Structure 1
Amino acid sequence: MALRRILVLVAVLATSVVLGTPASAAPPAPAPAAACDYPAWQAGRQYNPGDIVRYTDGNYYITVHANPGYDPVISHWFWDPYSCDGGGDPDPGGFVVSEAQFNQMFPSRNPFYTYSGLRTAMSAFPAFANTGSDTVRRQEAAAFLANVSHETGGLVHIVEQNQDNYPHYCDPNQPYGCPAGQAAYYGRGPIQLSWNFNYNAAGNALGLPLLTNPWLVQNDAAVAWKTGLWYWMTQSGPGSMSGHTAMTGGHGFGQSIRSINGALECDGGNPGQVQSRVTKYQQFTQLLGVSPGGNLYC
């Protein structure tokens, strides 16, 4: 009888250890991380939600809608970018703006401006909204999207609405001229890229024939977003720094305005337009749960 009681007690203690009751019990070892080794994408092959592929450019994509092998960098509705950092977990840390928040920011957006197109474009600029503290990352995302919202009427307009301006964006003094036509370099995309020299520079940086085919910016969402991020990340425009540097270097939202349209809006040029950008930035930072910081005006 005594032996039976001892056996029962041992069994109870063993069960307690399995359930993790004792404070000193060691936590279970984590499962080994999955290797980042997914098959190459194949045109014409059936893909179902959750399937992950390696595209020809070395980036990974995950199927969000079943499709018969559509190209991941063209058919953005069917695919989302997938990050293999952190042992294969999708997008560790994540973009600081979720798709739900993106939709809240742009409730009337044109379907052309897809969230997946933005995510695809971000793979070309990994430092975007991924530099510095979480606060800085959120502030930069809010700043970029606030300026984009202002430029496009809330992501409604794909091309510049005032067609009278179209012939003005050709600088014939550039050695490459305007091969797509004098009136071909009007504003397009989220940042309203304009002028032949900007299309040339953006095309060279992105490996795209934008000088000869500027219409790519209004026909491909990922290309459109890439041109916006190219300008934001690398161009100072009429300012002294890029929008990215303004936000990650602690210079404030006002300097990002200066880099985009400071020649016309800053220093009292058009305070109403500046206020419109600042108000949108404040709304977006509030949505992302972060302070807008200082130096909001230019």
Structure 2
Amino acid sequence: MAQPSFLLFCIFLSFFSILSSYQTKATTITRLVSKSLYDSMFIHKDNTACPANGFYTYESFVKATGRFPRFGSVGSMETRRREVAAFLAQISHETTGGWPTAPDGPYAWGLCFKEEISPQSNYCDSSNTKWPCFSNKTYHGRGPIQLSWNYNYGPAGRALGFDGLRNPEIVANNSVIAFQTALWFWMTEQSPKPSCHDVMIGRYRPTEADLAANRTGGFGLTTNIINGGLECGIAGDGRVNDRIGFYQRYAGLLNVGTGPNLDCENQRPFA
């Protein structure tokens, strides 16, 4: 039988290894996005006009990334910066409080909302028996990526350790979990869609169906993954242009090029 002192030593090493992993990840993100840079990106996130003021803290963002060690840490420094810029751009569009003549411009108002305003339904797909809806619960958009539908809340909760079907409200009440749901969606492949992460790090390999649908790699494909059914295949769509505007601003702040294929107007949505 192992001696108690040896067991304690093993437990200590295990704890130290986990702590070191989280610290290393936090260091990676903080090197790419410092608190001052984060604050300059989201100038008005804590404006009293924003329903989410005080919710999307830098500390919560950094802590949430600890669950996803590959986010912003794969490939060249250019690739890493571009992925972070793309992610922040997409969550900014989903939560924007900006308008064309807004102070500091429309792309300075990301992370203004934490919950969908006036949802048109309870976002329950009753045909999805794997992730059944619960009575008196709604699965409308919440958090930075505006997580929606029972078939997203269920698996997100399972992956992150909360009950997404019975307690979807936590996504709008816990800022770390809110950021984690956005990162979960970003990092997770949902066939036939690739993950946004794989697209932005250049790991995406189009299938024959993708090639036929002109789903080329680039920021525009992440828009297709997130909301292509409503926004892609449309020339000059304002929502797509808003996403691009955020991306261009953040890429500039991160001192990285945007890469090609920014829009999805010539792409067909995923089935």
TM-score class normalised by the smaller sequence: 0.7 to 0.9
Report how far residue 271 of structure 1 moved.
1.2
Which letter does structure 1 place at the counterpart of 2:243? R
Aligned residue among 239, 244, 257 for 1:278: 244
Percent identity for Structure 1 against Structure 2: 41
Shift of 1:240: 3.0
Corresponding residue number in structure 2 for 1:96: 32
What do the CA deviations read for 1:159-199 (whole angstroms, capped 9, x no partner)? 00123x242x0111222421253x52110000000101110
Instruction: Kindly provide the CA deviation profile for residues 212-237 of structure 1, in whole angstroms up to 9, marking residues without a partner as x.
Output: 11111011111000000000000458
Q: Structure 1 residues 252, 151: CA separation in 2 closer, same or farther (over 3 Å shift)?
A: same
Specify the code of the residue in structure 2 equivalent to 1:83: Q
Confirm whether residue 122 of structure 1 aligns to residue 43 of structure 2. Answer: no
Structure-2 change in CA distance of 1:166 and 1:259 (3 Å): same
| TM-score normalised by length of structure 2 | 0.74
Indicate the residue corresponding to 1:245 in structure 2: 198
Q: Larger Rg: 1 or 2?
A: 1
- In structure 2, C-alpha distance between the alignment counterparts of 1:92 and 1:187, rounded to whole Å: 29
TM-score normalised by structure 1 residue count: 0.67
Structure 2 residues not aligned, in runs of 5+: 1-8, 46-52, 97-109, 204-216, 265-271
The range that moved more, 95-104 or 126-135, is 95-104
C-alpha contact (below 8 Å) 2:30/2:62 kept by paired residues: no
Which residue is equivalent to 1:215?
A: 169
Q: Which runs of 5+ in 1 are unaligned?
A: 1-36, 41-53, 61-80
Cα distance in 1 between the residues matched to 2:178 and 2:254: 24
Partner of 1:268: 234
CA RMSD between the two structures? 2.6
Is residue 2:167 matched to residue 1:227?
Answer: no
Richer in helix (by share): 2
Instruction: Please state if 1:106 is matched with 2:51.
Output: no
Kept in 2, the 8 Å contact 1:236–1:259? The answer is no
Contact residue 236 and residue 242 of structure 1 kept, 8 A:
yes
> What number of residue pairs does the alignment pair up?
219
Q: Is the 8 A contact 1:235 1:259 kept in 2?
A: no
Q: Does 1:133 align with 2:76?
A: yes
The one-letter code sitting in structure 1 at the alignment partner of 2:62 is R
Give the CA deviation at 1:294.
Answer: 0.9
Q: Is the 8 A contact 1:241 1:255 kept in 2?
A: no
Matched with 2:141 is 187
